[in-house]
Amino acid sequence: MMSVSVRDALRRAAARLLNLFGRSAQQRREDQERLRMAAAVFDCTLEGVLVTDRQGLIVHVNRAFMRITGYQQDEVLGQRPSKFKSGRHGVPFYQRIYATLAEKGEWSGEIWNRRKSGEIYPQWQTIRAIRDDNDELSHYVAVFSDISAIKHTEQELAFLAHHDPLTNLPNRLLFNDRVEQALASAQANKRGCALLLLDLDHFQSINDGLGHTVGDQLLKLAGERLAQVLGNGVTLARLGGDEFGVLAENCQQVGQAGKLAQALIERMGEPFEFDGHRLFISVSVGISLFPSDALSAEQLLRNADAALFKAKHNGRACYALYTEELTAHAQQRVETAGELRHALAHEELRVFFQPVFDLFTSKMVGVEALVRWQHPLRGLVPPSEFIPIAERTGLIAEIDAWVLREACRQMVRWQADGRTLAFVAVNISSRLFGQRELYRQVAQVLLETGLAPELLELEVTESAVMEDPEVALEQLHRLRELGLSLAIDDFGTGYSSLLRLKRLPVQKLKIDQGFVAGLPMDDDDIAIVRVIIALAHSMGMQVHAEGIEQAEQARFLLEQQCQLGQGYWFGRPVPAGELCWG
């Protein structure tokens, strides 16, 4: 006999089963309804639909699928979707899709597939993993649309945004982009590239005279012609108006870029013939090189623009290099600076001496020490070619100190030989003059060489004194206390204040040779020289004229009571041993 509780339990179970059966029968009806609807949607939808089982074998495709892919149902059922691969995506791309599906159950994105015809095309695809009641993976459903039409419009839009509609050439936006890319790659590969800016000369007059249609046509033909000369691998762009840009990668030699520019100029010089017109137009080109001229795209463009300006200024129909003026000079400066350091260490510097005459007695009374560089390759280099560089690099202080020591030593030797001179003059650069410790250095040299201080004269330029007159005043006083004499060199070229000049402990003014050159004919020079002489005398200073090349100049200066004179007329700067003692 069964217990009540067991019977109850059985009854409850049967009822549950029945209930369940009843519900599932209804659900099945609903499910079928839903399936029919789904099938209708499935078939009518414009999106392609593809269903695979859990193994990834295709179990269902819809009509849109067939329309888009070109495959019939029976050609794909039982196959894998990999059948449609375009080859555009690598393994990692598909791995990412499966990983996303496993993690999130859904993936959407752009994917390129291949139609039956072989054509590849972009799809926007959503794939979803379907799970059954037991949460087991049962199917994958992929819904996709063909977005090749959209892509095409996008491409067209992108093209329009980056190209000039008249010539179809890249526009400024794209050109800038390309330049930036080129610089990055050139930097990585340690290569160089050249940027050329071209501007048609007097294009405006064609536009104004013959109308914009002719102008446009000419621009179009000009673009085509330039493209022909340049060939592949070089970016040509129309930057606006009548300006074109050329980016030549792998071109870092000035000569190479110059040749390219010349070829463009020559080709553009040939007449343009169209619609019954025969037009001549020339082009100006500005060149800037990476990395020698600029390191950024922006700077490169700016430099090329500066060079273009120079080409226009030089008379058009020519090219100009940005390098020529600024960078080549900068480079040479760096080289010379390095060589100068070497020159100091390897005793390539020489001190020459130029006689100074007393115009009243016609006797040599002193000498000026002038530095020279005996360059192993360039020969004797004049100070004008290296003093400015030495000044900029600070090396001048060392050079001056060396010249000072050499000059003092030589003067002591002359004294010992009975060659009496009233002074040896040494130039002091503004750089050295600005150093507070100068007087100590000079005192040290006097001590070392044993030269009597009154035989030494230091020349300071007027501009060095006027740079900071208060500091200069202090410095001059300290030097003067050593017992030497002081001269202002190149007087008349700076803007001395007379009041200040009066306060300076200076014994001599050296009239700049620029004023002596015009004597005795030039009225202005005559006036200036007279004023300087009068000024010096009124302040109790001696006057010394430089650059005397002719007897008439010496005579005129003597008449004006100028006591001292120096110049080729009396003798050029020479090595100590070649000085003429009369």
| Interface with Mg ion, residue 496, by CB under 5 A | no
Q: Is residue 242 near Mg ion by the rule CB under 5 A?
A: no
Binding mask 507-546 for Mg ion (x = CB under 5 A): ---------------------------------------x
Q: How are the residues of the chain apportioned to helix, strand and coil, as percentages rounded to the nearest 5? A: 50, 25, 25
Q: Min. distance of Cβ 510 from Mg ion in angstroms?
A: 5
Q: Does 201 bind Mg ion (CB under 5 A)?
A: no
Contacts of 491 (CB under 8 A, 6+ apart): 462, 509, 510, 511, 512, 532
Per DSSP, the residues of 311-329 read HHHTTSSSEEEHIIIIIHH
| Length of the chain, in residues | 582
User: Which 431-490 positions form the footprint of ligand C2E (CB under 6 A)?
Assistant: 459, 489-490
Judged by CB, which is closer to ligand C2E: 122, or 547?
Answer: 547
Residue 170: is the preceding peptide bond cis (ω within 30°)? no
Q: Encoding tokens for residue 431?
A: 């750089």
Instruction: Tell me the three state secondary structure of residue 549.
Output: coil
Q: Residue 303 binds which one of Mg ion, ligand C2E, none, with CB within 5 to 8 A depending on kind?
A: none
Least distance between ligand C2E and beta carbon 230 (Å): 48
Number of neighbours of residue 162 by Cβ within 10 angstroms: 16
Residue (444 or 493) nearer to ligand C2E, CB:
493
Among 125, 429, 475, 485, binds ligand C2E (CB under 6 A): 429
- List the x/- string, 331-370, binding to ligand C2E by CB under 6 A: -----------------------x---------------x
Two structure tokens written together for 442: 């000079």
Contact status: 553 vs ligand C2E (CB under 6 A): no
Distance CA 442, CA 482 (A): 9
Helix (H, G, I), strand (E, B) or coil at 122: strand
Site string for ligand C2E, 503-522 (x = CB under 6 A): ----------x---------
Out of 164, 249, 490, 525, the residue judged to bind Mg ion by CB under 5 A? 490
Q: What are phi and psi of 189, to 5 degrees?
A: -100, 10
Nearest distance from C-beta of residue 232 to ligand C2E, angstroms: 54
Q: Which residue is nearest to ligand C2E (CB)?
A: 567
532 is an interface residue for ligand C2E by CB under 6 A:
no
Residues 425-484 that bind Mg ion (CB under 5 A): 427, 459
Q: How far is CA 282 from CA 164, 226, 227, 318, 423, in A?
A: 22, 12, 16, 9, 63
CA–CA dist 245, 238 (Å, integer)? 6
472-478: long-range contacts at Cβ-Cβ below 8 A with a sequence spacing of 24 or more? 472/433, 472/504, 473/500, 473/503, 473/504, 475/433, 475/436, 475/438, 475/439, 476/504, 476/505, 476/506, 477/505, 478/438, 478/439
Can residue 549 be called a binding residue for ligand C2E (CB under 6 A)? yes
Size of the site for ligand C2E (CB under 6 A): 24
Name the pairing type of β-strands 456-461 and 485-491: parallel
Binding window for ligand C2E (CB under 6 A); candidates: 132-140, 164-172, 250-258, 382-390: 382-390
| 547 lies in the binding site for ligand C2E (CB under 6 A) | yes
Q: Give φ, ψ of 156 to 5 degrees.
A: -60, -40
By the rule CB under 6 A, 164 interacts with ligand C2E: no
Residue 358 contact among ligand C2E, Mg ion, none, beta carbon within 5 to 8 Å by kind = none
Give the binding site for ligand C2E (CB under 6 A): 354, 370-371, 382-384, 387, 396, 400, 403, 427, 429, 459, 489-490, 513, 546-549, 566-568, 573
Give the binding site for Mg ion (CB under 5 A): 427, 459, 489-490, 546
